């Protein structure tokens, strides 16, 4: 079974993120869920992003990196949206990573240097999610990562929701979330 560090999205360590982690635990995995927001959660993406801006994106990412330093090196790094930043940074820079799971976001690999040869990863997002498909070029970064690395897969789901696998939020899409979880469990297996 895998050991996973799962970083939350911009709304914080919500009940939906905790439920996702618990589902992974029920499948036999060890899951760590660092709280990058020091206990704060937000009702909207905008409110959560305002907290991240005020705190500093670098500070949020550093909290994620620091949380992983206490763990073994041979883990899977996973992140939801904003949480992809520390997950991807660690997957690419901390020796020993065994996999990466990026939900709703993907940065250009060049942000953190080269992608580690053979490191398996999955990127999951909705095909019409404006945060993924339009604003930041995440879809382009994901496609480039897949094109350059046969060990990386991109899964696009029909729809336009951003945080669609968080069961505690209004944008939750149960069929897509179940498929995402199944693909995640297959990856971890």
Q: CA-based angle 115:117:129, to the nearest 5?
A: 40
pLDDT digits (tens, 9 = 90+) for 46-82: 999 999 999 999 999 999 999 999 999 999 999 999 9
Domains and CATH numbers, the chain: 3-188 (3.40.50.1820)
pLDDT for residue 135 is more than 90:
no
By the 8 A CB rule, do 79 and 7 touch?
A: yes
Nearest in space to 5 (alpha carbons), one of 68, 55, 51, 65? 68
Name every residue whose Cβ is closer than 8 Å to that of residue 89 and which is 6 or more positions away in sequence: 61, 64, 65, 111, 112
For 9-73, the three-class secondary structure string (H helix, E strand, C coil) is ECCECCHHHHHHHHHHHHCCCEEECCCCCCCCCCCCHHHHHHHHHHHCHHHHHHHHHHHHHCCCC
pLDDT digits (tens, 9 = 90+) for 102-125: 999 999 999 999 999 999 999 999
Q: What pTM was computed for the model?
A: 0.96
């Amino acid at each position: 079974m895998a050991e996973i560090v799962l970083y939350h999205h911009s709304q914080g360590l919500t009940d939906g993120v905790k439920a996702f982690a618990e589902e992974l635990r029920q499948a036999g995995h060890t899951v760590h869920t660092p709280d990058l927001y020091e206990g704060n959660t937000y009702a909207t993406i905008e409110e959560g992003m305002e907290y991240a801006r005020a705190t500093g994106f670098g500070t949020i990412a550093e909290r994620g990196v620091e949380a992983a330093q206490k763990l073994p090196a041979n883990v899977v790094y996973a992140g939801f949206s904003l949480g992809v930043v520390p997950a991807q940074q660690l997957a690419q820079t901390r020796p020993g990573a065994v996999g990466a799971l990026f939900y709703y976001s993907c940065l250009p690999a060049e942000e953190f240097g080269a992608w580690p040869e053979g490191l398996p990863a999955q990127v999951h997002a909705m095909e019409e999610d404006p945060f993924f498909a339009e604003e930041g070029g995440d879809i382009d970064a994901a496609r480039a990562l897949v094109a350059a690395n046969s060990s990386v897969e991109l899964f696009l789901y029909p729809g336009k929701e951003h945080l669609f696998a968080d069961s505690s939020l209004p944008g939750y899409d149960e069929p897509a979330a179940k498929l995402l979880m199944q693909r995640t469990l297959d990856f971890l297996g």
